[in-house]
Structures are given as structure tokens and as C-alpha cells.
Structure 1
Amino acid sequence: MIMAERYLTLYERFGGDSSGGMPVEATLEGLSEALFCTTRNAKLILRKLEEEELIDWLPGLGRGNRSRIAFKADKERFLLQLAQSRAEKGDYKQAFELLQSFGEGTQAKPKFLEWLNGQFGYHKEEASDGISTSDTLRFPVYRPVTTLDPAQVNYSIDAHLMRQLFSRLLQFDEGISKIAPSIAHYWTSNPEATEWTFYLRKGVRFHNGHELTSRDVVFSLERLRGDTQNRWLLRGVQQIEMLGPRVLRVHLKQPNRIFDRYMCSNAASILPANLGGMEEEEFWQLPIGTGPFRMVSQSSHCIELAAYTAYHEGRPYLDGVDVVVMPEECRDSAVEMPEMLHKGYSGNPLLEKHMENWQLLKKLCRGCTLLTWNLRRPGIQQSEAFRRAVRMILNTSDLVLELGGDRAMPAFGFRPEGSQSRSADPLLPERVKTALRESHYDGSVIRFTAHENFEEDARWIVERLGQWGIHIDLKIVSWAEASVCSTPLHDEDLKIHSFILPEDEVCEIEAYEHGDSVFKSYLDDELLNWINGRIDEALSADTEVVRRQHLKVIEEHLRDEASVVFLHHRELRTYLHPTIRGVSLNALGWIDFKDIWLEKLD
């Protein structure tokens, strides 16, 4: 491929409007300058390009005769084929870099995007026997998978893939808001909710064929209790006891009346005991679970899944799923599965016109986007009066109205149902001025961090605060930077972030207790200890109503002291081709692969 890029480099410098292989003048010195090499190496490169029949080199012989070069391959066609070749090998980043570097003045990039869109979606392929077919869903994501280890899970894309690979003791049925059996077919607790007993199904098998037993469950839960980001899930566990090959009991130090809900969490996914005899690094290259799909291959640019035919809840309809990791900078260029599925808010009238006959799934995201102050770091954010002033200035109704997009409604708490009946208070300048005077704000700079996904919100916030003389140093970070937990050692005073509550109370508790959460990193120890006390009270509550009241106290405390500023709730959208069936958005905002099937393929 190096020669191909050198060909394009020379064409870019000397080809101009040349077409049909017509020779153009070029000096050996000019060629070596374009290639950043010596004239001797330039001659070697020219010879190699001639051998590959890409150019004709016509050296000028005799005094006054200048050398000429003829480019035999059409630039646009050659660049398009080169980008396609890179993409087929999974190097999408390099493909887009080539188009960016050499595509000016050509139609290579739009043609590449048209070709690329055809690579994604639902594909039906004929098997080698000429009779059976294979149904595969291939789709892009625009952020890398951080981990497939349930004990460390934090991000929704990772959690969604884990749902395909692993099963849990129990599962939460979002449709009816009930806990349902999974690996465990039955479970019970003592009246105090300090002992929970689980009875396992027979015949649940890992992807390597081994039958799951209580030994695997005990191993997985004990591993989770170790030094992991999700050990909070088992914070109250005293002992995990194996009563038999298919029965185990968990003893708690204090009551937890939703411990069965805890066991629905992705973090509580069941792994084979001792990782099937493998070391950690080897196991996570091709992890083994009991989920509806097994992993076939994994690289930095693609994860290939195949249907697990022995899945205990029934074989998936799809035969395979390919998850292609696209460079984040390609997000604005590429369309997500336009022939079968488009996920998210398009903002493209032509695309929405094209999809006007498609199924449109809309769902309010259970969660919110918010600002959180770093209370572990000295600075003006330690002043409650200053934090209240910022909250008053940032009228979230204006934010939603002015920025639009997938911002569905202003947020006044974690959940959209709690925000629907509320409206933003009108801005009262005198109250803002009073709060700023009380805070003794001296014009010091607030260090504000935002991921690229939140850049539009962040710039709106900076502009609004600037109108009141509040100085902001905004830092936009990439996904790789944002995925690293912000600790008190980081120079951040304020952060914009979002989280999803796919399993309601459990995920709200996770937002406070997860080892890598913004709250855990930004809120001071005194406040975190107070929060843990309220959580313990919630877990021991006899009814859901009382439990919600305890958790609501935490949310209201954070809002009243302006430790957080709630911004907005998002709307999740997915457009589906009319022939796709079995699709609904789960609480993570993803589609469950195991339920997808195609009525017909035109």
C-alpha cells in the first residue's frame, strides 16, 4: 500500500488536470522533494511504480529536454479502490485519512460513503451447500469497546455487548418492570432479606459446551467482590455459600430487599469458574459465556459474534452480528445502516425523507445529561452561592429550545417522568447578582471539561456564563480521554456528562457507588458517606414507595445545594426498514440482537 500512497502523492503534486495518461513535465529533484527522499531513492520508487504499471517515466535525454511522467491510473477511481481496500481490512481510519488527503476535486469521498453504507445492515448470504442461508447484521459504532469484563463495565456499548455474550442469575423484563428467571429458575429470601437462595436451571451450557453449576456462580460473584469497579454491587455480602451443584445462598450483613434486582445487573454476569482454566488476558481475547451469541473474533476494529445454538432461552434468529468500530471523526460522514436501520437523531432532511415510510421507534432516555462540580478540588465551586448562581443562569428550557436535536425536554432530576410536570424558573437578575456577591467571585477561571458529544451543550453553557462575567476554560476531550476516570488529581472544576438508568433503582445506586463514576470522583467523602447511609436505608425499605423516597432525598439534596445542574433528557430514535421485525429499543438505547428477524429481503 505504500506505493499506492506514493502514486497519489505524486499525482497530487504533478498530475493537475492530467487525464488519459498524458505525460506532464516533472523534474527528478521535484519528485524527490514531493516524496521527501533523495534523488537516488526517487529513482527506485519510480522504477517500482513503473513495474506496477501505475506510471510511465520518460526521462529527458539531452540538453533542454525535460523529464515527463504519465499517470496511468485514474486518480478518483484509484483512490476509491484504495480506500475501499483499507476499509475491507477494517482500517476505516486510514481509509478516511486517504480520502481527506487526496480526495479534493474528486467524487471519491461521496462514492466511498455510498459504497460503505451498502456494507452495513442486514445481509443474507447463501451457504456453500447452495440451500441454506446465513443472516448477518453488520453495523458501525463510533467509540471503541472499553471492556468486556462485567466486573469493570461502565459504558452502555460495553454493557450491551455483554448482554449478548453472558447471562445472569436473573433478568429484568423492561416491558412489564418485573424480575424474570434466567440462569436461576427460582429464588427466595428470608423475611429479613439477609439470605437469598438461588436454584439453577439444568442444562445451561457455556459456549465451550461445559454445563454451568453453582461453582461457576460462586466464582463469578467472589471475583466481583474483589478489586473491581463494580464491587459496590456486593458491598453488603458476608458469605456466598454453595449448597449443591445447582443451589447457592448469599448471606448479607444487612437487609437488601432488591438484591434480586442486583442480580439482574450486567456486572453480575456469570463466567466459567477459574475462567475455564485460562489466564485473564487469554480469556478476554475470546470470552466465554452462556449468552445468545458467542464471540468468533475480536480486534480493535471489529467484533464478530455468531448465534449460540444451545442458548437456554432459544436460538437467536440472526446467525451472526458484526460490530465495526469506526473512527470517531467519521461520525459526521457515515450514515448508520441506512439500508436497514438508522440509530439516533439524523438531523438530515434528505435522509429523513428517504426513511419516511420506515418504522420509527422513539423512546425517552431513562436518564439525563447534567453538570457536576468537582467538590474535591479547591476553588470557587466550593461556594454553594456560586453554584446556585450558575444554576439560575443556565435556563435549561432555553438550552433545549435553542439547540434542539435529540434534546427532548429540560431535566429537573434524573428521570424524565419527574421532569415532565415542571418548568424552569424565570431568570431573575437581582437574585443572580446577590448570589454572585455572596460567593465573592473574583473572576477566577473555571476549568470545564466536555466530551466531543457534548461540545454543542458546553459551548452554549460557556456563552451563557460569559454574559455574567464568569470565565470558563473549556477543554473538549476525545472518547479515549473521557473514558479515563477524572480524579481529584485532574485539573477539572466542572464536567458535563450523562448516564442511563436501564434498571431503575439499581442503576441510580450505581451512579453513586460505581468505582469509576463521576459522582464517586467529584463529590467529597462526607457527602459520599451521607449518600451511602441513605442508600442502606433504601435497600432495607419494605416497599418500593419508601425506597424511592430515600433515593429522592439524595437527588433533591444534590439539586438544592447545586452540586449538580440538571440539563436535559434525550430522545432515542431508531429508523427501521419496513421488513425488519422483532426490534425494540432497550433501556440502554440499543436493539436486542437475539430478537431481530427479517420478514423478507427485496
Structure 2
Amino acid sequence: MFILDQYIELWIAYGKGKKEGEQLEITVQNISETLFCTERNSKLIIKKLDELNWIVWFPGRGRGNRSKLIFQKQPIPLILAKGKEITRKGDVKSGISFVERYSSQFPSVKKEYEVWVDSIFGHKIERTSEGRRDVLRLQVQMNLDIAIDPVYATMRSECHMVKHIFDTLVYVNEQSNYIEPRLAFHWEYNDAEKIWTFYLRKGVHFHNRKQLTAHDVIHSLNRFIKAENNPHAWMLQHIESVRAVDEYIIEIQLHTENRMFLHMLSAEQCSIVNEDEAGNLIGTGPFKLSEKNAHLFVLEVHDLYYRERSFLDRIELLNVEQSVNTYDILVKAQYKDQEKHNKELSRLESNVTYLTCNLAKEGPMQDELFRKALYKIIHGHAIIKELGGERGEVAKELLLASDSIVEIEEEIESLIKESTYYYEVLQLYTFTGQDHVEDARWIQKECAKYGIRVESNFLEIEDLLEISTIQKADMMHDSATISERIEDSLLYMFLTKNSFIHGQSNMDFHKTLSPYFKQEQVEKRVTLLRDIEETLLRQIQVIPLYRNKQQVTSHEKLQNIMINSQGWIDFYKIWFKP
């Protein structure tokens, strides 16, 4: 803010140490010399500062009469006001940067700003002309320009937000594994004809107040099926056609039996959408998207939601450079003087961090001896012990396989010597997040001890998920999302087009899983999935590394807080005691 900088220069030169309201004599020439500008520009600056009520200016009349100046504002409140203005727009990073520009001249300003920032986060009750509003404001360290198209939702943050903005026809209860109603309140299946019939709720409103009809369901499912480069196309691959019986009844004709069809329809990628004139996707979920950019993501409650209304009226996520744990802020910003009332909620993630070996590419990874050596180098407690953080325990499997599925007796040196590896540089690709960078560099360091050359590549999400990237990488480092819906989680890893396991394995997953969808017995379906996982591990196509420990600090006033498989809390369910 150039005018603020000019004011501060003048204040330091002439106002520092003066009493508030004290009048001092000065000339336009003095101001020009201080600001290194012409007298004409000095007069324009004086006029602007006078209009802002930052100064009072009494121009000298006649030869030899000096002008008089009163500084009306101390610089620190002006700096703080501008920093707060930037922050309230959602750009915390720029707010911090702005204030830090002046911290050398005014050392206390940074601390005052930090105290204010701390005070705005957590659960806040705001009073508006429409009454009380419960706002949850959180700090995160991520780009918040999150893609909100259910069809392409891949990252945990995308999937989590899609679940809050959109709804599906049915829902799978992760605790009981039962199918529950959502937009459809009843459904039937004609086994002989392979036809599913769904009965839609009446009076369900999209966020644009339009009411849900069969047309919206047909549009959404056809949109999913026809979507270009849809990585999740396998979910609805068995649909032959969709038709409306009337406004609230639809029929889905399958061409092949699929005993997991309701599970597929419950996936957030199969959410029902409406589109406005600009092509923006509209949902029926408990929250509507209010604003999003790289710095700010805002959800507001959907007052016409067909289920129970959320306690929260508004959720604001703000991207910051340095942040405490996302959910610790629920406590520390609001209850920092009441630590005795805090409680720890932690769980070991089902999600597993792993490394894939590209068997679909010519090179050292084709050699099983080399893959065995790689396994022995990077699998074990060393990565957890050395890097620490949220890394909780060694992962010996993805989900279902036996703990002892991989046993290698040979020494690392002899495995490498007998392999076909000849000092080729292996390309390791992963995300730009701190934990991914730490892991990749650790793997690179450990491999170097045995003469294995690894080059780490850190890409943004969009680039990393490109099929071409997956194909050219020798290794991919990732963390797989595994929910309580075990079958769905493994199907996602094995069949999703931009899944690293799918893209780098030499297994034909679609062919191998063809009988899976026709199998009615859960035990037999799970056995098939376990066999695939064990094959991937036994052949060292996938090397599990560790599972993270998630921990949330919550206050006794914060109710119904649970960590989901995406590593987030459910904004729809939490509420606060007074």
C-alpha cells in the first residue's frame, strides 16, 4: 500500500516522539526531500493523506510562512487494519507478509497481528441482522482452489468437500455396512431382468432452490458415463440404460450382473448434480459452496436440506503458510486458557503409505531380485524411527493380506549383484506435500547406500495423476485412502484409471475382477480381493511403508467429532455446547 508507506516515512521523519495532536512546522520542500519526489507530487500526497484523515494540513500563506502538519494516526493501527482487511478476504499468507514488511520498524506489530489471527479461528458465534450464526474457521496448509466435480474427485480434500455439497441416491453406513436411503427412499431389484428401480424423495431442493426430479438423476448418471477421461468409469460400467418411469421413479438397466451396484451408487463420484446457466454444478447436500480460491474455501448451510439441518451455519478454511494441526485450532484459538478441559482423540489410520514398482515399464523393475532388494532397503521401522512425525506403525499389508506374505532371506548386496540393475537412474514421483518430500528423500538416501541411483520428482496433483506421468515413473509414492468399506477401498485402488497401483501393475485387474461383481457371497468376494492384494505384495509390485497416527485435540464443548477415512472431521455432524 504505497500511500501507507509514504505516511510512515513522513511519520518517522517528523512525527515520531511527538505528542498526539501536536502541531509541527514543515514545508512542501521538506516533504519532497523525504519522499524523493517532486513538489507537485508532494502536494498530491498531502491532499490524499488529508482526505484519509491521517493528517491535518494547514498550508502556509505568503512568502516565508511555513505550513503546519498534525499527524492524526499512529502507524501500527494502520498497518494492523490493512493486514486484517487482507486476511478477512481469505488471504492469510498475504496478510502475514504485509504485516511482516513493517516488523523491523515496529517490532510489536507482528505479535499484535498474530494474537488477532489466533482469535478469529475456531468456533465463533456471530450476530447478524438475521440472527445468530455459528461459524467454524480453520487453518489449513493447502491450495484451497479445490475441484468440486464429483466425477473427477480423487484427492481426499476433494472427496470430503463433495460429500458435504452433494448427495447420492443411497448411502453405505461404514459401521454396519448396511445400505441406507438418501435421495432415493426405496429401491427394488428385478433379478431376472437385471433392472434396478429407485423411488426418489419429493421436496428435495438443490442449492439453487430447484426441486430434484428423475431428470436430474438421469442427467447425472449419463454425465458420469460419458465424462471424458473419467478415472472412475468402472463404477458404473455395468449400466446399459437409465430411464424415467415418472418424475420420481427411475429404472436402471444393467447389461451384466453387479452385486456391488448399490455400493457404487453410494460413492461420492456418483453424486446427483444440477447445473446452472453458467455450467456450475449444484448439489443437494447439507452445505453449499459460497466462495473458493487458492486462499479461501467457504461453505454455508443449506437451509432447505431434506435431512436434519447442520448446527454450523458457515465453515471457512483459510490457507496459511505455517499452521498448527488443522483441528487443534478448534481448541487453541478458543479455549487456550482451559487446557484441562481438552481431550485427545486419536486413531491409527487404515490409510497406508506405499511405493509402487512399475512393472508395466521396461527397466530394472522387471527384475524380481532387484525389487526384493528394494523392499529390504526401504521396508521396516527405519523410516518411522528416523522421520517420526505422524508416521505410526510399519504397514506389512494394504488391508487384507497376511502379515507374513513377504519373507526375503537373501542379503541386499547379493540380490543387487545377481539382478540386472546396472546403475540406471530410477525416477521416483510423488506429491509436493512435506511428508511425501521427506519420504522420497529418505528413500533416495537409503538406496544410495547400496549404489542404487534414485531421482525424486515432486509434482502438483494434476500433473502427478496424468497417465503419462504414471507410465514413465519407475516408482510412485502415495498414501491410499482406506475406509471401513473394505471392498470399495480395494476396488478403488485396483480399478481407478489414475490409481498408481492400477497404472504400474502388469495385472489385468478388469479381467481378474470380472467374476467378483457377479458373486453374491461377501466372503468369496473378499477372498478374491485378498488374493489380488497378496499377489501384488508377493511379487513386490507394491511395497507398504507405514500407517499414520491421526490425533485431534478437542474441547469438551465440541461434540460428535470423528475423524473420517479422508483424515477430516465431518462438518455436518459436529456441534458445540454453550
* Match for residue 487 of structure 1 among 468, 471, 480: 468
The 1:76–1:444 alpha-carbon spacing in structure 2 relative to 1, beyond 3 Å, is farther
**Where does structure 1 lack aligned partners over 5 or more consecutive residues?**
33-37, 58-69, 344-350
* Structure 1 residues 90-144: Cα deviation after superposition (integer angstroms, max 9, x where no partner): 2223223334554358344444333212212111122437xx4221222233222
Is 1:515 the counterpart of 2:497? The answer is: yes
Q: Is the 8 A contact 2:286 2:302 kept in 1?
A: yes
| Partner AA of 1:311 in structure 2 | Y
| Partner AA of 1:183 in structure 2 | L
Is 1:292 the counterpart of 2:292? The answer is: no
How many Å apart are 1:291 and its aligned residue?
1.1
Q: Is the 8 A contact 2:167 2:284 kept in 1?
A: yes
Q: Is the 8 A contact 2:357 2:474 kept in 1?
A: yes
The 1:184–1:382 alpha-carbon spacing in structure 2 relative to 1, beyond 3 Å, is same
* Match for residue 527 of structure 2 among 549, 570, 577: 549
Q: Is the 8 A contact 1:196 1:251 kept in 2?
A: yes
Q: How does 1:152-163 map to 2 (within 5 A)?
A: 152-163=152-163
The 1:478–1:231 alpha-carbon spacing in structure 2 relative to 1, beyond 3 Å, is closer
Q: Is the 8 A contact 2:294 2:319 kept in 1?
A: no
**Partner of residue 593, structure 1:** 571
**Partner of residue 3, structure 1:** 3
How many Å apart are 1:393 and its aligned residue?
0.9
The 1:180–1:434 alpha-carbon spacing in structure 2 relative to 1, beyond 3 Å, is same
> What is the rounded CA distance, in whole Å, between the counterparts of 1:314 and 1:372 in structure 2?
43
* Structure 1 residues 275-299: Cα deviation after superposition (integer angstroms, max 9, x where no partner): 2xx34xx242xx4221112233444
The 1:508–1:95 alpha-carbon spacing in structure 2 relative to 1, beyond 3 Å, is same
**Partner of residue 126, structure 2:** 125
Is 1:441 the counterpart of 2:440? The answer is: no
Number of matched pairs: 548
The 1:549–1:139 alpha-carbon spacing in structure 2 relative to 1, beyond 3 Å, is same
**Partner of residue 443, structure 2:** 461
The 1:493–1:361 alpha-carbon spacing in structure 2 relative to 1, beyond 3 Å, is same
The 1:356–1:173 alpha-carbon spacing in structure 2 relative to 1, beyond 3 Å, is farther
Q: Is the 8 A contact 1:485 1:518 kept in 2?
A: no
The 1:269–1:30 alpha-carbon spacing in structure 2 relative to 1, beyond 3 Å, is same
The 1:409–1:3 alpha-carbon spacing in structure 2 relative to 1, beyond 3 Å, is same
Secondary structure of the 2:151 match is: helix
**Where does structure 2 lack aligned partners over 5 or more consecutive residues?**
25-29, 58-69
TM-score of the pair, normalised by structure 1: 0.80
Q: Is the 8 A contact 2:327 2:554 kept in 1?
A: no
How many Å apart are 1:394 and its aligned residue?
1.1
* Match for residue 389 of structure 1 among 367, 373, 381: 373
Secondary structure of the 1:340 match is: helix
Q: How does 1:111-510 map to 2 (within 5 A)?
A: 111-128=112-129, 132-143=131-142, 144-191=144-191, 194-226=194-226, 227=228, 228-272=230-274, 275=275, 278-279=276-277, 282-284=278-280, 287-318=281-312, 320-327=313-320, 330=321, 332-333=322-323, 336=326, 338=328, 340-341=330-331, 355=339, 357-415=341-399, 431-450=411-430, 451-453=432-434, 454-477=436-459, 482=464, 484-485=465-466, 487-488=468-469, 492-502=473-483, 503-510=485-492
Q: Is the 8 A contact 1:122 1:340 kept in 2?
A: yes
How many Å apart are 1:48 and its aligned residue?
7.6
How many Å apart are 1:598 and its aligned residue?
1.7
How many Å apart are 1:550 and its aligned residue?
1.2
Q: Is the 8 A contact 2:470 2:503 kept in 1?
A: no
> What is the rounded CA distance, in whole Å, between the counterparts of 2:362 and 2:318 in structure 1?
39
What is the percent sequence identity of the aligned residues? 24
How many Å apart are 1:208 and its aligned residue?
2.9
How many Å apart are 1:391 and its aligned residue?
0.7
Secondary structure of the 1:361 match is: strand
| Partner AA of 2:283 in structure 1 | G
The 1:39–1:496 alpha-carbon spacing in structure 2 relative to 1, beyond 3 Å, is farther
| Partner AA of 2:214 in structure 1 | S
Larger radius of gyration: 2
> What is the rounded CA distance, in whole Å, between the counterparts of 2:462 and 2:318 in structure 1?
13
